[in-house]
Structure 1
Amino acid sequence: MRGQIILSHGSDSGPGATKISALADRAEALGWRTERPDFRADDAAGHAGAVAPRVARLRTAIAACAAPPVLVGSSMGAFASALASLEAPVAALFLLATPPAIPACPQALGLRAGVPTLLVHGWRDELCPVAGVQVFAARHRLPLLLLDDDHRLLASMEMIVAQFEVLLGALA
C-alpha cells in the first residue's frame, strides 16, 4: 500500500458522490487506501454550521492514520480539507470546486504552507465563482486547473482523474 487518502464530499452530497467515488476507485487501483467520511449529519446544521464539525472529523481521521494522508475534497469538502491541513499534517491536498469563503463562517479558507496542493475549478462554476479561487491561488502561488465546466465538474471527470493520478505519482 502506498498511503492513505481521505476523500470529503460536498454538502448536499454523500460519500458515494460521483467525483469522490471516481477518485477513490482510481486511488485504490493504484494501491492507495481510501476513506470517505460521511458528513451528511454535519451538513444538516447549514453551511456555516457544518465547517467546524467537518474539520473535527477530518482531524480525527488524520490522527488515526499511520502517516500524513492525502486530503481530497469537493466544494464544502475542499474547504474543510484545507482548514484541516492547518491543524494536522497532511501529505497533499487535491481540492475541487473550492469556495474561498463560506457565508457566515468566521474561518477563511487557508492551508498550511509547503503542502503540495492542486486546485481544480470550473470556469462556469455557478456556486463558487472562479474569481475567488483565482485570487486564493495567486495569493498562495498554487497551481489552479481551470476547466470548461460548472460546479459539479462532471463533464471533466477524465481530466480530473488524470490530474489526481499525476499528483499521486509524484507522492509515491
Structure 2
Amino acid sequence: MSYDLRFFKRAVHEAVDIDLLGDEEEEGKASYRDQLELLGTAEEVTAILRTIFPEAEFEHFEAYHEGYLMTEDYGVTFFWPESEAVRVLDVAVTGSENAFAVIQTLHERTGWRAADEVEIDFNGDPASGLRYWAGTLDTLRRQVGSNKKWWQFWK
C-alpha cells in the first residue's frame, strides 16, 4: 500500500476541489482538471523530474510515463499521462517518512502545489497527512494481527 498524493498548479478559480483531481476516466473530472494550469507536456514534465532527481529511473509506456526513485528506506513513484497538456502529477510513496523530503524538494524546485486528502501546507506541517495515513494503516494492521509497521509492508 502506498501514500498517494497529486501535484498541480493553481486552479484558474483558485479554490481546489481535491476530489476532482482523480482519474481522467471518471465522469466530471476531466473538465475540472482542464481548469488547472499546465505543468507542461509529458516531455517537459519528464525533463523537470530528471533535472531535480537525476538518480531516478524513468519509463515511457504507450499512454503514460513513470519515474521511480528508490532507496533502501523508501520508494517514490511518479505517474503522468502521455499528453501535450499534463495538469496533474500523481505520486505514490512507500517506505519511511524520510520519503517526504522528495515531496518537499519537488514542491520547492517547481512551486507546484500538492494534495493528499487536503492541500498540503508546506509552510506548516507538510508531512501530517503522511503521518495520519501511516498511523491509520498501523492501526488496521494491529487489528488484523500483522506485526509489520506501515513502512515495512512494502518490502
**TM-score, normalized by the shorter chain, greater than 0.5:** no
Name the larger-Rg structure. Answer: 2
TM-score between the two structures when normalised by the length of structure 2: 0.30
Q: Which has the higher strand share?
A: 2
Larger relative contact order, structure 1 or 2 (CA cutoff 8 Å, min sep 6): 2
TM-score between the two structures when normalised by the length of structure 1: 0.28
